[in-house]
Amino acid sequence: MPPEADGPEVLIVGAGPVGLTLAHELIRRRVRVRVIDRAAGPATTSRALAVHPRTLEACHQMGLADALVARGRPVIHFTVHARGRELIRFDTNYGKLPTAYPFSLMLDQVGTEEILRERLAALGGAIEWGVELADCAPAGDLVNAELRRDGRSEQITVPWLVGADGSRSTVRERLGLRLVGDATQTWLNADVVLDAELSRDSNHLVHTGSGTVLLVPFPDAGKWRAVDTGYAGQGTDPEPVRRRLAGSLVRGLGHQVAVSEPTWISVFRVQQRMITAMRSGRCFVAGDAAHVHSPASGQGMNTGMQDAYNLAWKLADVVRGHAREELLDTYAAERIPVGGRLLSSTRTATALVALRNVVAPVAMPLGLSVLRAARPLKRHVEHRIMAGMSGLALHYADSPLTYGTADGTAGVRPGHLVACTEQDAARHPGHRALRQALTDPRWLLLLFADEGAAVPALRYGRTVQVRTVVPHESQAGPTLADPDGALRQTLGVPPGGWALIRPDGYLAAKERRFGAAALVARLEALHLFPDPE
């Protein structure tokens, strides 16, 4: 059956944070979507708890960051305890990772999803709860799908389908895509209220003698997520879990800790798995449907939302006829390597959090004592931690959408995120204007024109916003004022050059000299169509 003329252009399976991000961005780009979820309604418990800086930068472009920050709790430290002592407190070091959000935002997944649903509804989007995908199959330029609701079956045909339906993805299974990797340790999550002398702007890793307990603060007063890495199948009854956590924390912290009965308990296997393809015909997978990570560094939800953000603008440009379908091949080309790097980093984080090596109780205090005394080394370690956890160091330098530097390594390198600190945005008009310009869902072309130079018209207005960077405010066409040259210096583009920034905020290319023919050739190589005559 052919799709209805005014029917959905994209069927999204799953209304968690990944599916909601995708739906929001597609609707923002005027793509018709249908969102289904087999659950009876929104989740009431949260697996994910952290929203990291790279995700917040994307949420700023989406118009959501302020709402998230207002509801969450910033965390800027990581403190290690053992045998009643605070061994070390790691601080944040974003010195080489500019962001307006230099913290991890502790906001339970339930809260993140609520904000996404509210904004999706404001755009006219809706979620169909209790609707399950029973089957799907690519069929040339379409996708056939079978939906089930209340025992009734519905056969539909849609142009595109995206599976954001979690680690037990029906979409992944029907497409024959396999998760490759392993599952190792068994951990326990418990949400509890603690009466303890612990700073709430920090995560706390407590070595208990036989394992560790990782404590992560909720926004709610006194509430913590306790991750017990020493769980050994002792059961999940709330009272025994409470007593076990209390005893472990007393041993590690060296003082009495009052622990409430858990409001939520989950036992899970720590998995490190990913697929080797994220597309089959006109079907895609994103988030946990494509990769499953250890919760040690809180990457799962963030990586999934970034998958969705990466796919959304590409799919929208293709659906609206603004780009060739080859643009969609770059989704897997960019996100599969990211998933692979994250598997490696989360394996390391898992080992560090669990501390199951038999010499850890002796070696750890000695090593951290040396690190605490060596300030430059400690700052280097803090930078490495932030680079791995924040997502800001992830880049697309090897992407088919990335082209070489304009001036060696000066300024932001192509393939890397274009961002600035909140202080830079307040201090420099160019940075402030750029942050606003990046909320436009199109590509952004910055022309650093020589004073008085004529700017040629480009027939790409549907997909590319063009801003001429000038040293002062101007009424002559769409300009971006950079009076102190801070933006030009940050990007490393001389007068007369240009920079092209993708819709997701990554620098695609920059050149020292402007040439209309060369620029048009570059846009064509990026699979973009010019506007109709």
For the cut 80, the answer to whether the pLDDT of residue 464 exceeds it is yes
What does the alpha-carbon distance between residue 371 and residue 81 come to, in Å, rounded to a whole number? Answer: 15
Q: What residues contact 72, with CB distance under 8 A and at least 6 apart?
A: 51, 105, 106, 107, 111, 219
Strands 202-207 and 77-82: parallel
Query: In which band, very low, low, confident or very high, does the pLDDT at 271 lie, cut at 50, 70 and 90?
Result: confident
Q: What is the CATH number of the domain that holds 447?
A: 3.40.30.10
Decide if 54 is inside a domain: yes
- SS3 assignment, position 88: strand
Same domain, 148 and 54: yes
Query: Between these two residues, 108 and 352, which has the higher pLDDT value?
Result: 108
Judge contact between 527 and 327, C-beta under 8 A. Answer: yes
For the cut 90, the answer to whether the pLDDT of residue 309 exceeds it is yes
For the cut 90, the answer to whether the pLDDT of residue 42 exceeds it is yes
Alpha-helix residue ranges (DSSP H) falling in 29-133: 53-62, 65-71, 109-122
Judge contact between 339 and 323, C-beta under 8 A. Answer: no
CA distances from 307 to 25, 300, 531 (A): 12, 11, 28
DSSP 205-264: EEE-SSSEEEEEE-SSTTEEEEEETT--S----HHHHHHHHHHHHHHHHSS--EEPPPSE
For the cut 60, the answer to whether the pLDDT of residue 358 exceeds it is no
Same domain, 36 and 130: yes
Please tell me the predicted confidence (pLDDT) of residue 450: 67
Same domain, 339 and 426: no
For the cut 70, the answer to whether the pLDDT of residue 346 exceeds it is no
For the cut 70, the answer to whether the pLDDT of residue 409 exceeds it is no
In Å, the largest CA–CA distance within the chain is 75
Which candidate, 496, 477, 488, places its Cα nearest to that of 431? 488
Please tell me the predicted confidence (pLDDT) of residue 406: 47
Q: What residues contact 58, with CB distance under 8 A and at least 6 apart?
A: 305, 306, 309, 504, 505
Cross-strand partners of 10: 33, 160
Judge contact between 105 and 69, C-beta under 8 A. Answer: yes
Same domain, 323 and 458: no
Query: In which band, very low, low, confident or very high, does the pLDDT at 436 lie, cut at 50, 70 and 90?
Result: very high
Q: What is the CATH number of the domain that holds 279?
A: 3.50.50.60
Query: In which band, very low, low, confident or very high, does the pLDDT at 179 lie, cut at 50, 70 and 90?
Result: confident
Same domain, 38 and 174: yes
Query: In which band, very low, low, confident or very high, does the pLDDT at 274 lie, cut at 50, 70 and 90?
Result: confident
Query: Between these two residues, 178 and 2, which has the higher pLDDT value?
Result: 178
Please tell me the predicted confidence (pLDDT) of residue 449: 79
Decide if 214 is inside a domain: no
Same domain, 307 and 447: no
Same domain, 315 and 433: no
Query: In which band, very low, low, confident or very high, does the pLDDT at 184 lie, cut at 50, 70 and 90?
Result: confident
Instruction: Using the 3D structure, point to which of 292, 317, 350 is the last residue of a domain.
Output: 350
Query: In which band, very low, low, confident or very high, does the pLDDT at 415 lie, cut at 50, 70 and 90?
Result: very high
Decide if 385 is inside a domain: no
Decide if 122 is inside a domain: yes
Domain that holds residue 521: 422-525
Query: In which band, very low, low, confident or very high, does the pLDDT at 471 lie, cut at 50, 70 and 90?
Result: confident
Give residue-wise pLDDT tens across range 239-270: 999 999 999 999 999 999 999 999 999 998 88
Structure tokens given for 144? 């056939």
As a whole number, mean pLDDT of residues 56-81 equals 96
457 burial (CB, 10 Å; 0-12 / 13-18 / 19+) is exposed
For the cut 50, the answer to whether the pLDDT of residue 140 exceeds it is yes
Same domain, 290 and 176: yes
Instruction: Using the 3D structure, point to which of 350, 376, 398 is the last residue of a domain.
Output: 350
Decide if 474 is inside a domain: yes
Decide if 162 is inside a domain: yes
Give residue-wise pLDDT tens across range 189-242: 999 999 998 999 999 999 988 789 999 999 999 999 999 988 877 788 999 999
Please tell me the predicted confidence (pLDDT) of residue 359: 45
Decide if 518 is inside a domain: yes
Share of the chain above pLDDT 70, in %: 91
As a whole number, mean pLDDT of residues 124-149 equals 97
Query: Which of 334-348, 458-472, 519-533 is least confident?
Result: 334-348
What is the distance in angstroms between the CA of the first residue and the CA of the last residue of the chain?
34
As a whole number, mean pLDDT of residues 125-152 equals 97
Decide if 235 is inside a domain: no
For the cut 90, the answer to whether the pLDDT of residue 363 exceeds it is no
Average pLDDT value over all residues in the chain: 89
Please tell me the predicted confidence (pLDDT) of residue 39: 97
Plot region of 151 (φ>0 → left; ψ -120 to 50 → alpha; else → beta): left
- SS3 assignment, position 498: strand
**Total tally of structural domains belonging to the chain:** 2
For the cut 80, the answer to whether the pLDDT of residue 145 exceeds it is yes
For the cut 70, the answer to whether the pLDDT of residue 58 exceeds it is yes
Same domain, 55 and 174: yes
Same domain, 289 and 168: yes
Instruction: Using the 3D structure, point to which of 328, 350, 372 is the last residue of a domain.
Output: 350
DSSP 285-340: E-GGGTEE--GGGT-HHHHHHHHHHHHHHHHHHHHTTSB-GGGGHHHHHHHHHHHH
